[in-house]
Structure 1
Amino acid sequence: MLNVLLPVLIFAALGLAFIGAIRRLRLWRQGRPAKVDLLGGLLAMPRRYTVDLHHVVARDKYMANTHVATAGGFVLAALLAILVHGLGVHQRLLGYALLCATLLMFIGAVCVFMRRVNPPSRLSKGPWMRLPKSLLVFAASFFMLTLPVAGLLPQGTGGWLLATLLSVGVAWGVAELFFGMTWGGPMKHAFAGALHLAWHRRPERFGGGRCTGLKALDLSDRSAPLGVEKPEDFTWNQLLGFDACVQCGKCEAACPAFAAGQPLNPKKLIQDMVVGLAGGTDAHFAGSPYPGKSLGEHGGNAHQPIVNGLVDADTLWACTTCRACVEECPMMIEHVDAIVDMRRFLTLEKGATPNTGAQVLDNLIATDNPGGFAPGGRMHWAADLNLDLMRDKPSVDVLFWVGDGAFDMRNQRTLRAFVKVLQAAGVDFAVLGLEERDTGDVARRLGDEATFQALARRNIQTLAQYTFTRIVTCDPHSLHVLKNEYPAFGGDYRVQHHSTCMAELIEAGLLTLAPDSGGRVTYHDPCYLGRYNGEYEAPRSVLRALGLEVIEMQRSGLRSRCCGGGGGAPITDIPGKQRIPDMRMADIRETGAERVAVGCPQCTAMLEGVVEPRPLVKDLAELVADALIDAPNRLKPLKRAAPEVIA
Structure 2
Amino acid sequence: MPERINLWNMPAWAQPAVYIFHALCLAIFLLSFYRRIRIWWAVGRPELRFDHIPERLKRVLTYVLGQRRVLRDPIGGLSHASLFWGFVIFFIGTTLAFIDADVFRFLRGEIYLVYEFALDLFTLLALIGLGVLAWRRYGARPPKLSYGRRFDLALIWLLVLIATGWLLESFRMAVQRPPWGPASFMGWSLGQVWIAIGLGEDILRPLHQATWTFHAALAGLTYVFIPVGFLVHIVSSTLNVFFSRLDRPNGALAPIPDLETAERLGIGTLRDLTWVQLLNGEACTECGRCQAACPAYAAGTPLNPKQVVLDVRNTLHAVLPPTLNPFAPIQIQEDRLALAGAVTPKEAVWACTTCYACVSECPVLIEHVDLIVGMRRYLTLMEGDIPASLSNTFRNTERTGNPWGQRTSRLEWAKGLEVPVMAEKGEAEVLFWVGCAGAFDPNGQRTARAIVRLLQAAGVDFAVLGDEETCTAEWARRAGHEAMYVAATEAILETLRSYRFRTLLTMCPHCYNTFRNEYPQLGGRFEVVHHTEFLARLVEEGRLRMKREVAQRWTFHDSCYLGRYNGIFDAPRRLLQESGVELVEMARSRERGFCCGAGGAQVWMDTPQARPIHLQRLEEAMGVGPQGIAVACPFCHLMLTSAAQSKGVADQIPVRDVAEVMAEALVHPSV
TM-score (structure 1 length as normaliser):
0.87
Q: Determine which of 13, 19, 27 is the counterpart of 2:31.
A: 19
The yes-or-no answer on 1:390 pairing with 2:434 is: no
Q: Which residue of 2 aligns with 1:131?
A: 154
Residue identity opposite 1:14 in structure 2: L
Q: Determine which of 536, 540, 544 is the counterpart of 1:507.
A: 540
The yes-or-no answer on 1:202 pairing with 2:224 is: no
Indicate the SS of the match to 2:102: coil
The yes-or-no answer on 1:550 pairing with 2:572 is: no
The yes-or-no answer on 1:226 pairing with 2:265 is: yes
More displaced stretch, 300-309 vs 78-87:
78-87
Q: CA 1:240–1:101 in 2, change beyond 3 Å: closer, same or farther? A: farther
User: Is residue 87–residue 126 contact of structure 2 (8 Å, CA) maintained in 1?
Assistant: no
Q: Which residue of 1 aligns with 2:434?
A: 402
Q: After TM superposition, list the pairs within 5 Å mapping 1:200-279 onto structure 2.
A: 200-202=244-246, 211-220=250-259, 222-223=261-262, 225-279=264-318
Q: Which residue of 1 aligns with 2:625?
A: 592
Q: Which residue of 2 aligns with 1:122?
A: 144
The yes-or-no answer on 1:368 pairing with 2:401 is: yes
Deviation at residue 66 of structure 1 after TM alignment: 4.1
Q: CA 1:116–1:151 in 2, change beyond 3 Å: closer, same or farther? A: closer
Q: Which residue of 1 aligns with 2:668?
A: 630
User: 2-side partners of 1:623 and 1:55: how far apart?
Assistant: 37
Q: Which residue of 2 aligns with 1:112?
A: 130
Q: Determine which of 40, 43, 61 is the counterpart of 1:50.
A: 61
Q: After TM superposition, list the pairs within 5 Å mapping 1:19-98 onto structure 2.
A: 19-29=31-41, 30-37=43-50, 41=53, 44-52=55-63, 54-78=67-91, 81=94, 84=97, 89=102, 93=106, 96=112, 97=115
Q: Determine which of 511, 514, 525 is the counterpart of 1:481.
A: 514
Q: Determine which of 402, 411, 428 is the counterpart of 2:461.
A: 428
User: Is residue 91–residue 149 contact of structure 1 (8 Å, CA) maintained in 2?
Assistant: no
Q: Which residue of 1 aligns with 2:451?
A: 418
Deviation at residue 220 of structure 1 after TM alignment: 4.3
Indicate the SS of the match to 1:399: strand
Q: Which residue of 1 aligns with 2:214?
A: 168
Q: Which residue of 1 aligns with 2:22?
A: 10
More displaced stretch, 267-276 vs 89-98:
89-98
CA displacement, residues 284-310 of structure 1 (integer Å, 9 cap, x when unaligned): xxxxxxxxxxxxxxxx98952103432
Residue identity opposite 1:239 in structure 2: L
Q: CA 1:526–1:494 in 2, change beyond 3 Å: closer, same or farther? A: same
User: 1-side partners of 2:467 and 2:173: how far apart?
Assistant: 81
User: 2-side partners of 1:557 and 1:214: how far apart?
Assistant: 22
CA displacement, residues 404-458 of structure 1 (integer Å, 9 cap, x when unaligned): 0111223211111111111111110001111111111111010000110111111
The yes-or-no answer on 1:621 pairing with 2:643 is: no
Indicate the SS of the match to 1:262: coil
Q: Which residue of 1 aligns with 2:328?
A: none
User: Is residue 512–residue 628 contact of structure 1 (8 Å, CA) maintained in 2?
Assistant: yes
User: 2-side partners of 1:60 and 1:35: how far apart?
Assistant: 32
Q: Which residue of 2 aligns with 1:539?
A: 572
CA displacement, residues 328-380 of structure 1 (integer Å, 9 cap, x when unaligned): 11111111111101110000001111131111112222222112222x52112
User: 2-side partners of 1:350 and 1:516: how far apart?
Assistant: 58
User: Is residue 142–residue 170 contact of structure 1 (8 Å, CA) maintained in 2?
Assistant: no
User: 2-side partners of 1:31 and 1:628: how far apart?
Assistant: 57
User: 1-side partners of 2:633 and 2:84: how far apart?
Assistant: 42
User: Is residue 10–residue 86 contact of structure 1 (8 Å, CA) maintained in 2?
Assistant: no
Higher helix proportion, which one?
2
User: 2-side partners of 1:148 and 1:467: how far apart?
Assistant: 81
Deviation at residue 85 of structure 1 after TM alignment: 5.8
More displaced stretch, 516-525 vs 308-317:
516-525
User: Is residue 7–residue 87 contact of structure 1 (8 Å, CA) maintained in 2?
Assistant: no
User: Is residue 550–residue 582 contact of structure 2 (8 Å, CA) maintained in 1?
Assistant: no
Percent sequence identity over matched residues?
34
The yes-or-no answer on 1:181 pairing with 2:210 is: no
Q: Determine which of 223, 227, 235 is the counterpart of 1:191.
A: 235
Q: Determine which of 443, 449, 454 is the counterpart of 2:482.
A: 449
User: 2-side partners of 1:620 and 1:327: how far apart?
Assistant: 25
User: Is residue 321–residue 566 contact of structure 1 (8 Å, CA) maintained in 2?
Assistant: yes
User: Is residue 237–residue 284 contact of structure 2 (8 Å, CA) maintained in 1?
Assistant: yes
User: 1-side partners of 2:145 and 2:267: how far apart?
Assistant: 28
User: Is residue 109–residue 132 contact of structure 1 (8 Å, CA) maintained in 2?
Assistant: no
User: Is residue 277–residue 302 contact of structure 1 (8 Å, CA) maintained in 2?
Assistant: no
More displaced stretch, 326-335 vs 78-87:
78-87
Q: CA 1:230–1:455 in 2, change beyond 3 Å: closer, same or farther? A: same
Unaligned segments of structure 1, at least 5 residues: 205-209, 282-299, 634-647
User: Is residue 473–residue 497 contact of structure 1 (8 Å, CA) maintained in 2?
Assistant: yes
User: 2-side partners of 1:132 and 1:512: how far apart?
Assistant: 60
Deviation at residue 140 of structure 1 after TM alignment: 3.3
User: Is residue 536–residue 557 contact of structure 1 (8 Å, CA) maintained in 2?
Assistant: yes
Deviation at residue 557 of structure 1 after TM alignment: 0.8
Indicate the SS of the match to 1:470: strand
Deviation at residue 546 of structure 1 after TM alignment: 1.0
Residue identity opposite 1:342 in structure 2: M
User: 2-side partners of 1:71 and 1:613: how far apart?
Assistant: 50
Indicate the SS of the match to 2:429: strand
Indicate the SS of the match to 1:471: strand
Q: CA 1:555–1:51 in 2, change beyond 3 Å: closer, same or farther? A: same
User: 1-side partners of 2:357 and 2:84: how far apart?
Assistant: 26
User: 2-side partners of 1:567 and 1:401: how far apart?
Assistant: 21
More displaced stretch, 91-100 vs 236-245:
91-100
Indicate the SS of the match to 1:468: strand
Q: CA 1:513–1:302 in 2, change beyond 3 Å: closer, same or farther? A: farther
CA displacement, residues 38-84 of structure 1 (integer Å, 9 cap, x when unaligned): 6x53x554421222553323323555554444333434433553674
Q: CA 1:556–1:366 in 2, change beyond 3 Å: closer, same or farther? A: same
Q: Which residue of 2 aligns with 1:295?
A: none
Q: Aligned residue pairs: how many? A: 605
User: 2-side partners of 1:94 and 1:363: how far apart?
Assistant: 76
Indicate the SS of the match to 1:164: helix
Residue identity opposite 1:490 in structure 2: G
Residue identity opposite 1:113 in structure 2: G
Indicate the SS of the match to 1:575: coil
Indicate the SS of the match to 1:397: strand
Q: Determine which of 399, 409, 414 is the counterpart of 1:377.
A: 409
Indicate the SS of the match to 1:398: strand
User: Is residue 476–residue 497 contact of structure 1 (8 Å, CA) maintained in 2?
Assistant: yes
Q: Which residue of 1 aligns with 2:363?
A: 330
User: 1-side partners of 2:586 and 2:334: how far apart?
Assistant: 43
Deviation at residue 13 of structure 1 after TM alignment: 2.0
Deviation at residue 146 of structure 1 after TM alignment: 6.6
User: Is residue 63–residue 363 contact of structure 2 (8 Å, CA) maintained in 1?
Assistant: no
Deviation at residue 543 of structure 1 after TM alignment: 0.6
